[in-house]
């Protein structure tokens, strides 16, 4: 019993004739007759009473009613399988670091899911190190983050640069300077992110190269929260420029001279998963196109 045979049976019931069903389906009448004989044999019961008029048996009425649901479900399944095969449907698990997770991804996913409404996307927000481990364990399919540590079985494709600026209270002693060097920061409290944050590691590397006395620092666990601590007058912070649109009231933005701490960001995945397939490929190419538009290499 296959879907075509069930559809032939339904055509006979609707048209009331083997001949008319054959014409509608573009079959030979012998094909329609053979299909019905095989269907009744497979089911072990008679569905149609043949005569001048085609009538349904009690079993035929039951089978017809149920077959309407069967055909509808099978056609829906075939459509979903076809969508899955060409990447129009499926599930994609993506990991993202901030600030991209908060300031870029929502709008990007809204646009992507408008184009591909049958693709379901789940989002994990964490740091690059944690996302690397999730990728290696197969718990996410790709990540948008900074470059991972060397030695990982991962593939990283750089796409854009995350630009950083100095944020400080407008009454801060450094606020009168348009350009500030790392040495200028030594006498002032610097708000920094958690120890395992790639942004903090790069910042510390830049500050160490400037030499001088140790910096007065205050650790803030969330990069997104840094600007609010600056707004409260607790210190200065290097923050992603994208989070300052607008900057908090009572603060000013300045550039840090010398070796910049801007971070290269891109798409990260397992080497064995690249190139992507199916729905993951759709999202990858979409993000690559959109995020590359802000390339600043």
Residue pair 200/194 in contact (Cβ under 8 Å)? The answer is yes
What's the average model confidence in pLDDT over 101-127? 93
Using alpha carbons, select from 249, 222, 236 the residue that is nearest to residue 99. Answer: 222
What's the average model confidence in pLDDT over 147-166? 88
Q: What local confidence, expressed as pLDDT, does residue 49 receive? A: 86
Q: CATH second-level architecture of 3-85?
A: Orthogonal Bundle (1.10)
Do the bridges between strand 179-180 and strand 251-256 make them parallel or antiparallel, or are there none, so unpaired? Answer: parallel
Q: What local confidence, expressed as pLDDT, does residue 86 receive? A: 57
Residue pair 230/168 in contact (Cβ under 8 Å)? The answer is yes
Q: How many CA atoms lie within 13 A of 95 on its CB side?
A: 24
CATH code for the part of the protein at 164-261: 3.40.190.10
**122 DSSP assignment:** E
For the chain, residues classed under CATH 3.40.190.10 are: 90-161+264-292, 164-261
Q: What local confidence, expressed as pLDDT, does residue 185 receive? A: 87
Whether residue 260 is predicted with pLDDT greater than 60 in this model: the reply is yes
Domain 90-161+264-292 top-level CATH class: alpha beta
Q: Residue 212: pLDDT band by 50, 70, 90 thresholds?
A: low
Q: What local confidence, expressed as pLDDT, does residue 50 receive? A: 81
**Residue pLDDT, tens place only, 6-59:** 889 889 889 888 888 899 899 998 998 999 899 889 889 998 888 767 888 999
Query: Is-above-0.75 flag for pTM?
Result: no
Whether residue 169 is predicted with pLDDT greater than 90 in this model: the reply is yes
Whether residue 297 is predicted with pLDDT greater than 50 in this model: the reply is no
For the chain, residues classed under CATH 1.10.10.10 are: 3-85
Sheet holding 190-192, edge to edge: 179-180, 251-256, 164-169, 236-240, 190-192, 217-219
Write a three-state SS string for 151-180.
CCCEEEEEEEEECEEEEEECCCHHHHCCEE
Q: φ, ψ for residue 28 (rounded to 5)?
A: -75, 150
Residue pair 83/92 in contact (Cβ under 8 Å)? The answer is no
Whether residue 213 is predicted with pLDDT greater than 50 in this model: the reply is yes
Whether residue 286 is predicted with pLDDT greater than 70 in this model: the reply is yes
């Amino acid at each position: 019993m296959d879907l075509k045979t069930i559809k032939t049976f339904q055509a006979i019931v609707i048209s009331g004739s083997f001949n008319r069903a054959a014409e509608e389906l573009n079959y030979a009448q012998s094909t329609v007759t053979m299909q019905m004989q095989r269907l009744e044999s497979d089911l072990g019961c008679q569905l149609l009473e043949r005569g001048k008029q085609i009538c349904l048996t009690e079993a035929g009425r039951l089978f017809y009613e149920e077959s309407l649901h069967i055909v509808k479900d099978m056609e829906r399944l075939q459509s979903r399988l076809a969508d899955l095969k060409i990447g129009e449907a499926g599930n994609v698990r993506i990991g993202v670091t901030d600030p991209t997770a908060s300031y870029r991804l929502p709008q990007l996913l809204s646009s992507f899911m408008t184009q591909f409404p049958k693709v379901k996307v789940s989002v994990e927000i964490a740091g690059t190190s944690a996302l690397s481990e999730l990728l290696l364990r197969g718990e996410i399919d790709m990540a948008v983050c900074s470059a991972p540590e060397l030695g990982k079985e991962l593939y990283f494709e750089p796409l854009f640069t995350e630009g950083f600026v100095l944020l400080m209270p407008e009454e801060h002693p450094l606020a009168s300077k348009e350009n500030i060097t790392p040495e200028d920061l030594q006498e002032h409290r610097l708000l920094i992110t958690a120890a395992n944050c790639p942004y903090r590691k790069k910042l510390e590397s830049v500050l160490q190269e400037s030499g001088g006395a140790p910096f007065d620092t205050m650790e803030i666990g969330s990069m997104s929260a840094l600007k609010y601590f600056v707004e409260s007058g607790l210190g200065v912070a290097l923050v992603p420029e994208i989070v300052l649109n607008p900057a908090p009231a009572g603060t000013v933005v300045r550039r840090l001279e010398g070796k910049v701490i801007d971070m290269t960001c891109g798409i990260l995945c397992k080497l064995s998963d690249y190139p992507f397939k199916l729905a993951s490929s759709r999202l990858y190419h979409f993000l690559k196109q959109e995020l590359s538009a802000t390339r600043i290499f």
